Structure 1
Amino acid sequence: MELRDIEIFLALAEELHFGRTAERLHITPSRVSHAIKKQERRIGAPLFERTSRTVRLTALGQQLCDDLLPARLQIQQAIDRAVAGARGITGPLRVGYSTPWCADLVLRAAEVLRSRHAGCTVQILEIQFDDPLGPLRRGELDVQVSEFPVREPGITSGPVLLSEPRALMVPAGHALARRSSVSLEDLAAAPLITPRGTFPKSLLDFHLPTHTPSGRPVPRGPVYTFWPETTAMVAAGLGVSVVAVRAAQYHDRPGIAFVPFRDGPALDYGVLWPSNGPSAAVTALVDLMCELADEKP
């Protein structure tokens, strides 16, 4: 049995429809039918039961399918390893993330990458807000997924992976916590908690404005080094913080509330890498993250 005929058989076993199988393999339905009939003549028994309405595997066909699937997987893995070696998708890949939802996406993509390219290992590191681009600049990371926009020399911005509506994290007893939504103008009503350290200007201007759209000053609150400090400060009534709406799923705790913004742009999270160019492994990981980010929940 030729490899192409095996591929046709396994595809039909999954689709159980000659037309869909032909479309999937970019061949004609008659080519599918011819290949199956040839296999059945060689084996000496039907592999599929066909009616005008349905296609089903026979017991023998199911047995053949079960026996062939591990072999196909082994062949595909061997091909993937060869492709990975040729493209340089080997060795350790160091990936950073800034939020739990970015971490979820990175971890899913890393698992798929490792399954396809056995020679590639993925090391994942959380980025701290006091030095959000430092690990990438120092060569400690190959790529990271974090807040946009970033317009910094030596760093290239790749595709946006996630676009999240904003919310304001406020003390549970604050007047804003009783509202169904807030406005960017409400940033003048409470101190804004800010990160300590070297935060890029493009990120500061977008995420931590000094003035509201009408020009009212946004008061500054205490500073933090690590994100968990922020929720504690908010719960203590020391200030507020602009977050993604989904932060409520990850960071909710007694003493705080999350109120969605009714205006202002979304918070984008995308891929960053050094401007000397992404490696083949980085490109493969980014492609996977784009695919996974586009999948419907």
Structure 2
Amino acid sequence: MELRDIEIFLVLAEELHFSRTAERLHVSAARVSQAIKKQERAIGGDLFVRDTRNVRLTPLGERLHRDLKAGYQLIEDGIEGAKAESRGAMAGLTIGVIGPQAHDLVPVTTVFRARHAECELTFREVGFIEPLAPLRAGEVDLQTCWFPADDEGLREMITSEPDMTLGPVVITEPKVLMTADTHPFAQRVSVSMEELGDCALLGFKGLDSIPDYWVQIHSPSHTPGGRPIPRGPAVGNWEETMAKVVDRTVCLVSAEALRYYPRRAGISFVPIHDAPRGRWGLVWRTDRETPMARAYVQVARDIGTRHFDLD
């Protein structure tokens, strides 16, 4: 028995009138009659008594009505619940960003808002300690994340985060060395990755909760030549990072620092001429992919990666 035929039976059981049933369901009276005859043939008995004066349920019809009504209500409730959940998912999108990256995503965001004006889009800053925690907690739907510079690191990231889907790379940029103005490197035109073995590099707080691929992106343990890089104080946020960059302690950062924090008193940014470019991509929980998250990712794919360079 098809769902539409069940609906016709239930409405006719309420109305007990073929024309009113047809009008209520926006079908013809003939369609109602055909559906009931079809059901009676399939069941093997009359569901209604019809005469020139009225229509009434037979005992068999009354039993079928009781049984079908509860089940049909469950189906309707399920459909309405799914629609409500879909409307909720369509209505909003929260994107987590590290630092000022919402500004770098403006081209993607502008097109997304033009395509999906009904969506309430919100940006939320996430920290670089346990950066994926907001995603896992359901506090954001989608977020930017450091991606390793090479395929080996990317494979390690995929293995380390099996509950996450890695999307397109949205930003690439050079890496620079953040130092105090008084540091010898501050006067250099550029430095090499090998020279990091000559100074202490800031570490991260909470290393036990941070995967190694994440640490190696901005706080590598060895130079390309295999020399150990001394570890300086551990930091947990950007303000601590800038405060700790004193004397011979330095920090490897993305070039976005030059775009958004160029005039910080006492701080210099030195290009690293042989560092791999930093990559930022979009990440989301595989089991909580929403329609609006998919739509934002699609816009990012359409626009392509945004490449920044040092001016």
Given the two structures, how large is their TM-score scaled by the length of structure 1?
0.64
1:240 aligns with 250
2:204 aligns with 195
1:287 aligns with 298
What code does the residue aligned with 1:179 have?
R
Structure 1 segment 1-297 matched on structure 2, within 5 A:
90-100=90-100, 102-149=101-148, 150-151=157-158, 152-197=161-206, 198-234=209-245, 236-237=246-247, 239-252=249-262, 253-276=264-287, 278-292=289-303, 294=305
| CA distance in 1 between partners of 2:165 and 2:307 (Å) | 28
Give the match's secondary structure for 1:240: strand
Deviation at 1:295, TM superposition (A): 7.0
Give the match's secondary structure for 1:169: strand
| CA distance in 1 between partners of 2:219 and 2:268 (Å) | 19
| CA distance in 2 between partners of 1:188 and 1:294 (Å) | 32
- Give ranges in structure 2 of 5+ residues lacking alignment: 1-84, 149-156
Given the two structures, how large is their TM-score scaled by the length of structure 2?
0.61
Whether the aligned pair in 2 keeps the contact of 1:88 and 1:280 (CA below 8 Å) is no
1:144-186 CA deviation, whole Å, 9 max, x = no partner? 0121133322112111111111111111111111111111111
Which of 1 and 2 has greater Rg?
A: 2
| CA distance in 2 between partners of 1:254 and 1:296 (Å) | 28
- Give ranges in structure 1 of 5+ residues lacking alignment: 1-84
| CA distance in 1 between partners of 2:283 and 2:306 (Å) | 21
% same residue = 37
Deviation at 1:108, TM superposition (A): 4.8
Give the match's secondary structure for 2:249: coil
Q: Cα RMSD (Å) of the superposition?
A: 2.6
What code does the residue aligned with 1:250 have?
Y
Distance 1:137 1:115, change over 3 A: same
| CA distance in 1 between partners of 2:275 and 2:202 (Å) | 19
What code does the residue aligned with 2:99 have?
T
Whether the aligned pair in 2 keeps the contact of 1:89 and 1:119 (CA below 8 Å) is no
Deviation at 1:272, TM superposition (A): 0.5
Distance 1:291 1:238, change over 3 A: farther
Whether the aligned pair in 1 keeps the contact of 2:176 and 2:254 (CA below 8 Å) is yes
Give the match's secondary structure for 1:188: helix
